[in-house]
A and B are shown apart, each in its own frame.
Chain A
Amino acid sequence: MSKFAIEVMGISKRYERGKAGRIQNAGDVLRAITSPFRKDTRPDSHFWALKDVSFALHEGEILGIVGENGAGKSTLLKILSRIVAPTQGKAIMHGRVGALLEVGTGFHDELTGRENVFLNGAILGLKHRDITRLFDEIVAFSGVEAFIDTPVKRYSSGMRLRLGFAVAAYLNPEILIIDEVLAVGDDEFRRRSMGKMNSLANEGRTVIYVSHAMRTVQQLCTRAIYLSKGQILGDGTPNEVIENYLKPQTTRTTSDNSLLALARPADVQRDAPRLAHITVLDDIGNPTSTVKLGEPLRFRVDIESTRPVSDCDVIIRIETTDNIAVTTVRSSDYQQWYSISPDAPLTINCTIPKLNLEPAEYEVTLLIRDKHRIICDHLPRVHRLMVSNVPYGIDAPPLAMVGVVTAYSEWAIEGDS
């Protein structure tokens, strides 16, 4: 545990804004040709995807990197796997790096699965006989035996993913970098690949894993880093960091929770009542984005309208991040019909006293319908909701295995009184 596997020192990455595909005249061409030799000094011409990121990882650690979209997670992984170069800073990788970035890895479409395994092995710097030795294991893990001599272009995305993971994990890299790929795999594959990552770490290898699924990070990782806008805001145990990760979301959703400016689906009426705000409340009525397991779920919804409407009903649906609807509640089921006029906006409170959602991230969808049951406004997956308080610790199985809700249950040995 004492030796460092990865040392990252002040890594920054600057991207040129609008550089791609913006070449329209001779001047642009000249700029493009000479750009490697010039420094673009216009302040708005670039942005920093990563800013002064530093951390060090010991051998055997499993690091989870969490953060919003665009926080710089993928950029960091690309730098560590040397696909893009940093603009500033330095990173030292002690060992061979196997990487699985997005789905598919470095597969050559025309080549067969077998040829691609050898190609990727060579890319990792392995000798032919070493790859031969590991080949059977790779194929067995990926489960594509029957298609190993078929060109990869005919593989399904699941097969590519499984073979890609097997290649990255079994070609014995000292450092394994995995970018949010398990989310696409099926449950069986997810379980096996997490097991593989765990056993790699136990052998003293180092794993970096990026995920939006907090729960996976909690289960799998020994450490987590929270990236936001290219900077590290949290570094510690997964539980600590995920707590950290939720805090800014609380403030963000409460300070700016207006829904009016958001884009609506195309089928939504233009001139109709609008869902203006949604707030999740804690048990004493303060805005929050985190609810503790077993606590009541309380929503406050503001509705505005530019014309008088009557007999509307409001629908709230809760879904998991992998698109499973947990429940849908309708005000009309409880004989609640609302009338809204331009000078009298409405605030509705909806409480679900006991839902017992498993600790995870959920998404809330809002709908409002008029008296003809026509959808007036629809905001799919507009609000994030966290259920916290991990009851089982990091060994907890994934949601898909235990279910979405946790139920109260009574246990007894028959005959005892």
Chain B
Amino acid sequence: MPKSYTTIITPPHGWQALNFAEVWQYRDLLWVWTRSQISARYKQSVLGVLWAVINPLVNMIIYSAVFSVLARFPSNGVPYALFLFCGLVPWTFFQACAIGGMTSLTQNASIIKKVYFPRLILPFGNVCVSLFDFLFYFLILIVFMLLHALSTPSGFVFGAELLTMTAFPLPAPFVIQPTWGILLVPLFMMQVIAVGMGIGLIFGALDAQFRDAGRILAVLVNIGFWGTPILYSTTQFNLLDGWVNRLNPMAGVVEGFRWAFLGLPAPSPTWLLSSLVAIGIFLVGAYYFKRVETTMMDVL
């Protein structure tokens, strides 16, 4: 809110309505909103914040069991659990940004209809809540990396492989070599936020009008999960001469994570192409959302 607190109310038109500066002015609200969302979520639960950890852990164990132990998916020489988790972490974050971003509007209809604040605060707040969860996944990732590092060279029995049911003798002990790519991780995260929020905004705006949008998004996210090299590597499947992976912003991010944390080959410069796609999705989402925002109140 500006210092003088003068507000001019006019009909919205076009890009002028896309007011990110206003979101910045309301950053205090963003903070309070995020905190209260987190506290509300764990208020009536016994395990509380642990739930943020349980889901990705269970996912990792199941996928590792199925795809590494049973299906014997290759993982470029990296312990499969780590390989998988490096993809699962950004994907789970993306999923939270997209689906949470969409539902943040319809779920808070009762507040939106009663009091004004920039509506973008809701999906942005959702991103912040998701970032909070992401910190936990991130911690798990670090813990597994440490366990692995401790177990590999000196032959500690207590290793990541054992924990994650991939205790099969690997061809050669793999040494994790995090690269300077770690410094780019915030950039990768920005890309995830852009795609996730963009999609969340488009579907949030649609969902306000017809509730099928939510179901459609769930299906699309599921398709996206299998279309992104999370369980497998880009060397294994490369659909349409690799164009699917090149244009899929999430594929670039997953590869980036593996490069940064595990020392796998860096994503090719075509990764920038996927960044452009991410920015495009975000801008389309924000624009469409703003166009609908003003009429959304009439139908919500």
A residues apposed to B, CB below 8 Å: 11, 15-16, 19-21, 23, 28-29, 32-33, 35-37, 78-97, 99, 101-102, 104-111, 115, 118-120, 122-123, 125, 127-128, 151, 174
Are A128 and B40 within 8 A (Cβ)? no
Residues from chain B with Cβ under 8 Å of A89 in the complex: 10-11
A20 neighbours in B (Cβ, 8 Å): 298-299
Closest-CB distance, B16 to chain A (whole angstroms): 12
The 8 closest A-B pairs by CB, nearest first: A106-B115, A36-B291, A82-B116, A110-B40, A85-B294, A125-B1, A122-B32, A122-B29
CB distance from A4 to the nearest CB of B (A): 11
Interface pair B10/A32, CB less than 8 Å apart: no
Contact with A along B53-93 (1 / 0, CB 8 A): 00000000000000000000000000000000000000000
Q: Is the CB of B36 within 8 A of A115?
A: yes
Q: Which of B6, B11, B108 contacts A87 (CB 8 A)?
A: B11
Is B40's CB under 8 angstroms from A105's CB? Answer: no
**How would residues 197 to 220 of chain B score, 1 for a CB under 8 Å from any chain A CB and 0 otherwise?**
000000000100110100000000
Shortest CB–CB separation between residue B286 and chain A, in angstroms? Answer: 13
Q: Tell me the nearest residue of chain A to B121, going by C-beta.
A: A123
Partner of A36, one of B11, B112, B288: B288
Q: How many angstroms from the CA of A28 to the CA of B209 in the assembled complex?
A: 10
Cβ-closest chain B residue relative to A32 = B209
Q: Does any Cβ of A come within 8 Å of B292's Cβ? A: yes
- Please, how many angstroms separate the alpha-carbon atoms of A110 and B115 in the complex? 17
Give the nearest-CB partner of B27 in chain A: A122
B268 contacts chain A at the CB level, 8 A cutoff: no
Judge whether B5 and A111 touch: CB under 8 Å: no
Within the complex, which residue of B9, B31, B32, B206 is in contact with A85, where a contact is CB–CB below 8 Å?
A: B9
Given contacts A82-B116, A108-B111, A111-B36, is CB(A90)–CB(B1) below 8 Å? no
A127 neighbours in B (Cβ, 8 Å): 28
Judge whether B7 and A123 touch: CB under 8 Å.
no
Given A86-B11, A99-B114, 11 more contacts at CB 8 Å? A15-B298, A36-B292, A83-B112, A90-B9, A93-B8, A99-B116, A119-B29, A119-B36, A123-B29, A125-B25, A125-B26
Q: How far is the CB of B282 from chain A (nearest CB, A)?
A: 18
Residues of A within 8 A of B31 (CB): 122
Q: Quick check: is B297 within 8 A (CB to CB) of the other chain? A: yes
Chain B residues whose CB sits within 8 angstroms of the CB of A29 once the complex forms: 210, 212
Q: Which of A28, A80, A118 contacts B32 (CB 8 A)?
A: A118
Nearest neighbor of A103 in chain B, beta-carbon distance = B114
**Is the Cβ of A84 less than 8 Å from the Cβ of B297?**
yes
Are A122 and B33 also in contact (CB < 8 A) when A35-B295, A84-B298, A110-B43 are? yes
Q: Which residues of B contact A111 (CB under 8 A)?
A: 36, 39-40
Instruction: Report the Cα distance A99→B7, complex, angstroms.
Output: 14
Q: Report the Cα distance A106→B26, complex, angstroms.
A: 16
CA distance A12 to B98 in the complex (A): 35
> Which residue on A lies nearest to B7, using beta carbons?
A93
When distances are taken between beta carbons in the complex, the residues of chain A under 8 Å from B206 are 32-33
CB contacts under 8 Å to A, within B116-149, are: 116-117
Q: List 10 A-B contacts (CB under 8 A).
A: A16-B298, A79-B9, A81-B115, A93-B6, A93-B7, A93-B9, A95-B6, A96-B5, A102-B114, A122-B26
| Chain B residues positioned under 8 Å from A16 (CB to CB) | 295, 298
Please name all residues of chain A whose beta carbon is closer than 8 Å to the beta carbon of B111 when the two chains form the complex.
Answer: 106-108
Query: Nearest B residue to A36 by beta-carbon distance?
Result: B291
How far, in Å, is B103 (CB) from chain A's closest CB?
A: 14
Q: Is B12 located at the chain interface by the 8 A CB criterion? A: yes
A227 to B109, alpha carbons, bound, how many Å? 28
CA distance A302 to B4 in the complex (A): 62
Among residues of A, the one whose C-beta sits closest to the C-beta of B25 is A125
Q: Are A95 and B43 in contact (CB under 8 A)?
A: no
Interface centre among A33, A35, A122 (most CB of B within 10 A): A122
Query: What is the CA–CA distance of A94 and B6 in the complex, to the nearest angstrom?
Result: 4
Instruction: Report how far A33 CA is from B212 CA in the complex, Å.
Output: 12
Chain B hits for A128, CB < 8 A: 28, 32
Chain B residues with CB below 8 A from A32, complex form = 206, 209-210
Closest to B12 in A: A85
Q: Which residue of A lies closest to B297 (CB)?
A: A84
Question: Is B28 in contact with A80, judged by CB distance below 8 angstroms?
Answer: no
Q: Which residue in chain A gives the minimum CB-CB distance to B40?
A: A110
A88 near B295 (CB under 8 angstroms)?
Answer: no
Q: CB-CB < 8 A to B6: which residues of A?
A: 92-95
